[in-house]
Amino acid sequence: MTQERRGTEVFYDLIVQAQGYDDAIVLGRGDPDFDTPAHIIAAAEEAMEHRLGEPSPPEGILPLREAIAERVERVNDAVFDPETEIVFTNGGQEALFLMVVAAIAEGDRLLVPEPNYNTYKDSVAFARGGIVGMPTYPQEAFRVDPERVRRTLISGVRALLLVSPNNPAASVISREDQQELIAIAQEHDLLILADDIYDLLVYDDFSHTSPAALRGGKERTLTLNALSKSYAMTGWRTGWVTGPADLMVRVRDLKAAISGPNSIVSQYAALAALTGPQEEMHAMQGAYQRRRRIVLDHLDAMGFSYGVPQGGQFVFVDVSHTGMSSIELSQRMLDEAHVLAYPGGAFYEGMDDFLRITFLQPEDRLRDGLGRMQRVMEALGVGE
């Protein structure tokens, strides 16, 4: 990638360019095309009418934290005390920032499997810490190999980032590997920062395991999650951090210092999402399954290879046979086909042979976008 620009800036530049095309098909940003289910909007309306004067502590209202505790126990098999071990945040992004700033002090290093969502690096830079990158490889299905983690550890590493399903590689860390990674964290006195945001979006025979649910995991793990992806609530800013009570005191103080309590309306919307009807959320999950198949079929037809997505809402596609860098190809797709796919090189310099393509468009638009991409590939002389 171009070193002059942060990866996030590359993405935002592409988004702005795509906004200039009326017929653009966006297969880049992780923003579900579905609108938020109606019963959640109804809960927001009720909150605006009757609850705007209701106080909230910085960590969020207790009924919401209780609902999060129930959800985390049911989905992740991890138990947290809603009084002391949960902080509600402005989306998964604020949760991510809080986790990093809580765990990384000046000069500390975070071990980060690559590729990953860029703003981990940005958050670590804010905290004046450092990143120790550890590559994962397509031929290993982007597995976070515990032995490679062990070999990568150097002085100053204080924490280990575990994102499962991974963004952008869509790989899932197995239960066995998670347990082994916890053992390494114990052995080397590391904290674990776990990103579970795609935990409900896991495919085929893969299953999600949260490190906080495993033996020895909870006391050293901060975990983020959010409703943005699974409930189509990106605009509401609804996320959370869970962790052991001692570390969560720090997360809570940081939350109070960075933004204070979330909007009470977003809190009641989140409560409705967690406790209300789940049919629409399940329908969205089903749609992502179908769309994933459509994308993979088109990629097969175009002759691309890719890591079969084990989870998430995207596929990480090898474009090395085009002879172009991912940023060049992404720009060309946007210029010629008005299709936005994110360049892997903006996630990680070592992934400049990859594009990330999301499933976040209706099926007809998805087919249209992939068809346009195929025509660009044919024009390049590399399509099948």
Binding stretches for other proteins (CB under 8 A): 8-9, 12, 29, 31-32, 35-36, 38, 41, 44-45, 48-49, 51-58, 90-91, 93-94, 97, 101-103, 105-106, 119, 122-123, 126-128, 158-159, 189-191, 219-220, 232-237, 246-247, 249-250, 253-254, 256-266, 269
Min. distance of Cβ 266 from other proteins in angstroms?
5
Min. distance of Cβ 263 from other proteins in angstroms?
5
Min. distance of Cβ 137 from other proteins in angstroms?
28
Q: Which amino acid is it at 362? A: P
**Distance between CA atoms of residues 38 and 379, nearest Å:** 44
Shorter beta-carbon distance to other proteins: residue 121 or 291:
121
**Distance between CA atoms of residues 78 and 217, nearest Å:** 10
Shorter beta-carbon distance to other proteins: residue 182 or 319:
182
Residues 6+ apart with CB under 8 A from 145: 136, 177
Shorter beta-carbon distance to other proteins: residue 277 or 303:
277
Residue 124: in which H helix or E strand, if any? helix 119-126
**Distance between CA atoms of residues 257 and 97, nearest Å:** 13
Shorter beta-carbon distance to other proteins: residue 237 or 291:
237
Min. distance of Cβ 38 from other proteins in angstroms?
8
Min. distance of Cβ 327 from other proteins in angstroms?
19
**Distance between CA atoms of residues 102 and 255, nearest Å:** 10
Residue 367: in which H helix or E strand, if any? helix 363-379
Min. distance of Cβ 289 from other proteins in angstroms?
22
Nearest to 138 by CA among 358, 356, 332, 359: 356
What's the gap between Cα 13 and its chain centre? Answer: 20
User: How close are the terminal C-alpha atoms of the chain, in Å?
Assistant: 27
Shorter beta-carbon distance to other proteins: residue 103 or 241:
103
Shorter beta-carbon distance to other proteins: residue 299 or 341:
341
